[in-house]
């Protein structure tokens, strides 16, 4: 993952993603870059618009998160209703002793 992170950093600061740049970042972080992996990452990212790829990947994630949040909210409401019912039942039980 550190190789991909290095490429993301380079992309974010507007630098060219090449073998020397990725290796430099990894060395600065205290890692020993594997030249084969560095070459593979550079080759895999050649011609890829990273910002577009991130946005494209973020859309399905956001869409998947929305229904989960709705379900969570529904469960909260159900628990509140159950608690109210429980409290009202306890109150009646106290009346009849």
Question: How many of the other CB atoms lie within 10 Å of CB of 89?
Answer: 10
pTM for this prediction: 0.58
Q: Are residues 41 and 7 in contact, defined by beta-carbon separation less than 8 angstroms?
A: yes
Query: Is pLDDT at 33 greater than 80 in this prediction?
Result: yes
Average of per-residue pLDDT across 83-97: 60
Per-residue pLDDT, 9: 95
Of 47, 49, 40, 48, nearest to 19 (Cα)? 40
Position 26 scores a pLDDT of: 96
pLDDT of residue 52: 87
In angstroms, the Cα distances linking 93 to 23, 79, 88 are 73, 21, 9
Question: pLDDT tens across 39-88, in order?
Answer: 999 999 999 888 888 888 877 666 666 666 666 777 777 787 777 766 66
């Amino acid at each position: 993952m550190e190789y991909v992170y290095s490429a993301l950093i380079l992309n974010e600061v507007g630098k060219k993603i090449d073998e020397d740049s990725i290796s430099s970042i990894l060395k600065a972080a205290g890692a020993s870059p594997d030249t084969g992996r560095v070459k593979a990452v550079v080759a895999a990212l050649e011609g890829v618009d990273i910002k577009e790829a991130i946005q494209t990947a973020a859309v399905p994630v956001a869409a998947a998160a929305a229904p989960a949040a709705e379900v969570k909210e529904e469960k909260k409401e159900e628990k509140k209703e159950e608690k109210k019912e429980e409290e009202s039942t306890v109150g009646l039980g106290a009346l009849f002793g």
